[in-house]
Structure formats: structure tokens, C-alpha cells
Structure 1
Amino acid sequence: MPDRLQVPNAGDFKVARGTDWLLQVPGKWAYLAHPETKSAYDRWAESQKYETLCLLYVALTRAKRGLYLFLPEEPAARRGKPAGERHATPANLVRQSMDLNFSGSDQNWSVSVPNSEKVEVGKTLKLPEGKAQRTRTSPSSLKTVNMMEAGTGRRLGIEIHRLFEKVGWLSPGEVPAQSFSAAGKIVEDCLKKKEIHKIFENDGGELYREQAFELIYQNKWMSGVVDRLHLYRNAGKIMRIAIFDFKTDRVKSPADLLVRYTGQMRAYQSAMSQVFGVDSSMVECRIVSTSLGEVIEVNVEENQREFDLL
């Protein structure tokens, strides 16, 4: 380091931590001490002045009728002196190159400007009409009777579905213990019934529980969940699909459930035929009623024709 440069105080040094120091500009005393870094700094400073003048030029040449410049007050020590190289700031350059007393223009230029100008309005573009967004639906919305469930009853139904979801394949006569609750007792009582227990016995099918799906049904976006689905294949080819839907409605007969849910089961049948790429006739639908303790087969087409005649 040349003798003429004073070594800075310790507080002027930066401590490098990590790799961030690579992007930090060293202190001015450091880059002015070496010819190469000083030359790089001088080139950078010149480019910054040039960019500043370019920006100033754009600002001064875009006014249509009048231009007002607001300059900071000139320091007393610099008043009346040429800008020079070290003081060639945009403000000083403007002060030296422009007459601020309107000698070349009219100070009252704004008086001659008309109050309003006619603006030629171009042809308005007309956007094409938007396509209506598909409405959303679900199999549950296709109930023939849309009942409002009480809060307690709805919570009980959700808990019963949650417990049935946990039940996989069962051995004949096997009844897994359920939680000590109203829902647990209902599920356990259902599994003790031979007709209901049989659907949980493995007969060679693939098991899907709470199977969610999204698809287009009758030009509507349908979202749904199948409670339980058994898929049967032969040499890899799908031969049959069985859908089981658990219902907790308190009803007097299977006919009540068929009236309410045939539309929903038809939607499930159509959805699964699309999902698995099979004919809808290969998809069987059954309702498992917890209140009746029965498995009710739903012949979608036949039941729907009967209801249409009512």
C-alpha cells in the first residue's frame, strides 16, 4: 500500500461471513489504492453519468406543451461557478444550459391551451361472448327427496361412515370391536347381520374405500366419493363392479330409500363406468341401510322408470 494513503481504522473493515462478501463493494479507500480497481471504478462512474444524462434527456423531451423543473437549491459555495468535472450533476448541468427566466418561451403558455380537446375515439373492440362455466354437482345433490339433516344426526352419519371405512375384508363370522359410542354400536350391530357381513367377506374382488372421483356428468362437473367399491377381474379384464353406499336414514321400508337415492346411485353407476371404461350394465349398485339392517339392491333403470310413472 502506498505510504501516502492512511490505513483506515479497524471499524472501516468488513468481516466476511459466508459467500456474501463476493458481492460486497469494498471501501472506497481500498479500490482507489490499486490502479486496476481505480480504473474500473472510474469507468463505472462514467457509465453512471451517461445513464443519468440519458434519463434526463428523456425527461426533458417528452413534454407536449410546457415543462417545469424543480431543482434543489444550489449550495452557496457553488453559486456562479462552472459545474466542472466533479460537480457535473444533472441539476448543475440544467442550471448552466437553460435560461430559467422564460426568455425563449411564454411564461403564460397555459392560457392558450383550450379547455378541452377532442379526442378521436377508435373503434371499440367487441369481445366474443364467453362460454358459460360448467356448473358443479355431486351425486348427493341428485336425491329425489332433499332433506335437511339435523346437526346431531349428520355428525352420527359421518362417524358411521368413518367406522365403515376402516373395515376391510373380514373372515366369516368376524366382527371387529368398535368404539364405545352410538356410531360404534350401530356399525357393530350391522356387522353381526349375516346379509351385511357377507359384503365384507373377500370373494376375490379388489377393494376400494372412500373412492373420490371428478368427471363430467350430463355436461356438469361432478365431484363425489363412493363409500365402498369391489372390482372383479378375469385375466386382467374388468368383469363386474359392485358399489355399496351406506345410508343412515331412519326409514320404514327399502322403498323409501329407493325413492330418495335412485338418482344418486345412477350417477355413481355412470361415474364408475366412465372411470373404469366399462358399460354401465356391468356396474351394480347396492344401498346398505343401517336403520333397516339390510342390503338393498338398486336396479337403476327399472327403479327410475317406476318413479317416472308416479
Structure 2
Amino acid sequence: EAILRGRVALPTEAQVKVMTVHKSKGLEFDAVFLPDLDVELCSTNKLFVLRGSDPCQAPDGVLRYMNAKLQTLLPDDWQRAFTLDKERGINESLCLLYVAMTRARQALYMTARPTSGKPLQSLGSLLQSTLAGGTQCTEPEAVLYELGSATWYRSKPSPPEGDASSPPAEQATRLETQIALRTDTESAPLRGLRVAAPSSLVAPHVPIPLVRAFSISHSVGATHGTLVHALFEQVNWLEDFRFDLALLRRVALASVEPEALRHVSLDAVLGEFAEQLKLSSVQAALSQQRYQQAQFGQVPDSVEIDTEREVSLIIGDKLIVGTIDRLAVLMKDGRPYAAEIFDFKTDQWDAKQPKKWLKQRAEHHRPQLEIYAHVVSEMFNLPRSSIATYLIMLASDDLVLCPP
């Protein structure tokens, strides 16, 4: 009743604004407080779960929601549907948390309830696990993580004193501000990290001529590379792969914009892919036979394959974001003990100087592979010596090991 009768100032008028995360999208504030983080990562307060193979199509089944114990009695396809529904819910919660955490210009304050015993599946517990190194605090008002200046507000100019009878919005005075174009972007203050591709570490400041950026040949090369990677993404093992031309055509069409196919022959790319599957380098990397012999000193019990795995790594003031074309994680006794990273390259081959060309390409792509190896090392708790990185040079049919 008190909540219903209470009045909250409109966000456009009050100096202290109270709003939902959805309402805050696109807005910025000097300080943001997130007091309500004790919400479940994935809500179980739902009525139905949908089943379907394509999220863009109508579902082929609907089932009433049930608890985890009852879910284990369902057929495999329905258990998978419940798992996907939970993953979608967690993803939506994390997206909402990202929006909330990126509204602050100067300071972000997040509070959560102290936990004891088993960690809860809540946003607050997630933040405690990540920011506090897994420490679950039971003491009230304890600071688990702090970064930056706690007295940031002292550097802000104090607002001029106004008539106490006038509302806060009328007390504010306009400050004269001079706006100048900043030409040195590297020295500009950052709200967050600069997002960059792994290739930026090789030649971060090499400008691309405008005529090349908009050239048809440059666009054709990029489209061709995208198509080749999309097609190889469909291959887990060569022994199990079936060359379904209709399916591969749909995959290719979904991977690029229709406008990009104006200057690329899709039939030619599909035919080229069929021939690439026969290359000795591809056969050596994508075959199950590779792991039927000792790798890193022992024969793996199983190998987990992940294609087009998105990864990220913070280096300095940059967030390096990339995609591992093919990741093979070698398992022994149910635990990973080594990994192999494969990167498909469609670089134009220099037939006149093949050895020199291979050496130059390996050196050029080495920083990118090292980033991937570092991320995989962190993900699976593997030493760098247990991770091998390879380039699959499709133009020359070479499988190139790139040691650190």
C-alpha cells in the first residue's frame, strides 16, 4: 500500500532518478546504483516451454513447465528444449545486466545480499563469484571488489546555490561549454575498452586507402573468406560429414548479405569447398584418425570439437574479440589435458616463393593464434605447452604448426 501511494519523480525532472533497466537504455548518469541483484539468472516462473529446431520458425511442440527432477524423465528432445530455454533465460539476464552496468559515466555501485553455504543462482551471486574470486561473503556491508577512485565526486564542480523554494530542475544553471573536435583519438578518455580484432595487434595503425575499402575486389575477397569459413563450420569430423548441396547452399546464403553475392559465384565457392575437403592438410586436421594415436604424449579418450568459437581477451586498454575456426579439446579420464587450434586461411598463394610465403604468413598470423592459445589456456586451465596452434593454408594445401 505504501508503494502504491508513494510518489516517485519522473526521470526527466528529478536529480535522483528511479527507473527500470529497460527504461534506462540509451541514457547515461554520473552515478548508477543497482540495489536489486538478488534475482534469479533464469526465472522458473513460467508456464510453458517451446520446442523447435529453428528459432525463426513456429515451434513444433509446447509443454507445461516442470521442475528439474521431472525434466529428467522426459525424452531427450524435450530435455534439450528445457536446456535451451534455460540458456536463453540466462542470456537475457546477462544482457540486461550489461545494459545496467554500462549506464554510469563515473561510478557504478552494485549491492547484493550476503550469502552462506551453496552459492545462489542469482545475479548477485554471479558477481560475487567473478569479481571477488569466488569468495562468498557472509558479512553485511563488506566491499568485495573496488576499482577506481572512491572520491570521484570531489573532482566534479559543485552546483551553484539556488532558491531553496524552487525545484532542483530550476536550480540548475547552464554552463558554457566549448566543443572542439578531438583529432588524437588514442588519448581520448574511455568509458570502456576499445574493441579490436586480433589482426589489429599485427598492424594496428595501418590505414586502408579509401579506394581499396570500397573496391569490388576487396569486397569479393572478404565475402569469399566468410563463405569458406561458414562451410567449414559445418564439419565436425570428415568421417561423419555428408556433402548436402542444398543444406550448404542455405548455410552460405545465411552467412552473408544478399548484396555481397552479386560479385561472387556461390556455385563456384561450393565446388571449391568440395575440392578443399580432399586436401591433405584438411584431411590431416579434420579426421578422427588424427586422435587415434598419441597426442601430447597420450592417446585421448575423447575429443570435443568446437567450430567458430567466439573468444575475447583484455590486452591493455583493448578488448580483443575474435573467433577460433576450429578448437579440438583432448580429454583423458573426463578432464581436458591438451588442445589444438586450427585456423583456416584463404590467403593468396605465391607460387614463385612458396617457402618464403609460408614463413611470412605464419609470422603474420602468429599474434592472432597466440591470443587464441592464451584464451584456451584460461578456459580449460591448460599450460601453454599443452596447446598447439595450426594454420590450414587452403591455397597451398599446407598444415603449418605455429609454435609460440
Shift of 1:132: 6.5
After superposition, residues 1-310 of structure 1 pair within 5 angstroms as: 125-127=154-156, 133-143=192-202, 150-171=218-239, 176=243, 181-202=267-288, 203=291, 204-218=302-316, 220-252=318-350, 253-300=357-404
**Structure 1: 5+ residue stretches without partners:** 1-123, 301-310
C-alpha distance in 1 between matches for 2:225 and 2:190: 39
The question of whether the paired residues in 2 share the 8 Å contact of 1:248 and 1:289 is answered with yes
Shift of 1:274: 1.5
C-alpha distance in 2 between matches for 1:255 and 1:177: 36
Shift of 1:215: 3.3
The question of whether the paired residues in 1 share the 8 Å contact of 2:238 and 2:287 is answered with yes
- Distance change (3 Å), C-alpha of 1:131 and 1:219: closer
**Structure 2: 5+ residue stretches without partners:** 1-152, 158-188, 250-265, 292-301, 351-356
Q: How many residues are treated as equivalent by the alignment?
A: 175
Corresponding residue SS for 2:155: coil
Q: Which amino acid in 2 is paired with 1:156?
A: H
Corresponding residue SS for 1:291: coil
Corresponding residue SS for 2:342: strand
If you compute each CA radius of gyration, which structure gives the higher value, 1 or 2? 1
C-alpha distance in 1 between matches for 2:315 and 2:339: 19
Shift of 1:218: 4.4
C-alpha distance in 2 between matches for 1:219 and 1:131: 9
C-alpha distance in 2 between matches for 1:219 and 1:236: 37
The question of whether the paired residues in 1 share the 8 Å contact of 2:329 and 2:340 is answered with yes
- Distance change (3 Å), C-alpha of 1:125 and 1:262: closer
C-alpha distance in 2 between matches for 1:126 and 1:248: 53
Alpha-carbon displacement from aligned partner over 1:11-33 (angstroms, at most 9, x marks no partner)? xxxxxxxxxxxxxxxxxxxxxxx
Shift of 1:226: 0.6
C-alpha distance in 1 between matches for 2:396 and 2:326: 19
Corresponding residue SS for 2:238: coil
Q: Which amino acid in 2 is paired with 1:185?
A: G
Q: What is the identity percentage for the equivalent residue pairs of Structure 1 and Structure 2?
A: 22
C-alpha distance in 2 between matches for 1:265 and 1:158: 18
Q: For CA contacts below 8 A with separation 6 or more, give which structure has more relative contact order.
A: 1
Shift of 1:283: 1.3
Q: TM-score, normalised by structure 2?
A: 0.39
C-alpha distance in 2 between matches for 1:246 and 1:186: 14
C-alpha distance in 1 between matches for 2:391 and 2:283: 14
C-alpha distance in 1 between matches for 2:267 and 2:200: 29
* Two-structure CA RMSD over aligned residues (Å): 2.9
